[in-house]
Chains A and B, each alone.
Chain A
Amino acid sequence: DAKTTQPTSMDCAEGRAANLPCNHSTISGNEYVYWYRQIHSQGPQYIIHGLKNNETNEMASLIITEDRKSSTLILPHATLRDTAVYYCIVRVWGNTGKLIFGQGTTLQVKP
């Protein structure tokens, strides 16, 4: 599975959009981009995933560049409860379910 690079930490004001970038320049054609988050002391939580089209669900939007070498997770109206570590993971669909977690981005939402 391709490697991902994320900023170590980011801040966001409550009510504003949080844009979390992820670089995955070695991604191959059959690899999906997944986002999970881990709120302090809890288990990781799935957010969204995509292959090449932009995706949106009730939690977030995922924007993948045309060359697929990077993506951005958007939380449209961040709340204090969105403070967490956000993990961008690239993996092949159909492989074993192994998720390889990097260091992630610690997002601090401030009032």
Chain B
Amino acid sequence: DTAVSQTPKYLVTQMGNDKSIKCEQNLGHDTMYWYKQDSKKFLKIMFSYNNKELIINETVPNRFSPKSPDKAHLNLHINSLELGDSAVYFCASSRRQDGETQYFGPGTRLLVL
């Protein structure tokens, strides 16, 4: 009964491919987030959705497209993968849009070759 789950855990792919990462939360939260942690371990927010509506869209290449089919799911699709996209991607959720306590998933480790 994991609170925030992500699939896959590891993803190794070639440059130029398109891939998706899925996130699901069973906490009944309204808001979900995607964060990226690069090789230097800096953790930065990418997107946030509240009740399926985009509320945060940081300066992220438009090759990254989040999709929220319902408020329990927030997926991240990445087109034309580049070497610099290699990172750990974390999904998180919070009860409300104001952030409160955020609960993070275990991360998806993406390696682009």
Residues of A within 8 A of B (CB): 36, 38, 41-46, 49, 85, 87, 91, 93-101, 103
Contacts and interface: CB of A to CB of B under 8 A. Distances in A.
The A contact surface, by secondary structure, is loop
A97 B106 contact: no
The B contact surface, by secondary structure, is strand
B97 A97 contact: yes
A93 B94 CA distance: 13
Interface in B50-93: 55-56, 90, 92
Contact of B98 (A41, A43, A87, A95): A95
A89 B103 CA distance: 15
B102 A46 contact: yes
Interface of B: 4, 31, 33, 41-45, 48, 55-56, 90, 92, 94, 97-107
Contacts of A91: 99
A73 to B, nearest CB: 16
Contacts of B105: 43
Given A93-B98, A96-B97, 17 more contacts: A38-B43, A43-B90, A43-B92, A43-B104, A85-B41, A93-B99, A95-B99, A96-B48, A96-B55, A96-B99, A97-B31, A97-B33, A97-B48, A97-B97, A97-B102, A98-B56, A103-B41
B99 A103 contact: no
A99 B102 contact: yes
Nearest to A41: B107
A46 B93 CA distance: 12
Q: What 5 A-B pairs have minimum CB-CB distances, sorted nearest first?
A: A97-B99, A43-B104, A101-B43, A46-B101, A94-B98
Given A93-B98, A101-B42, A43 B107 contact: yes
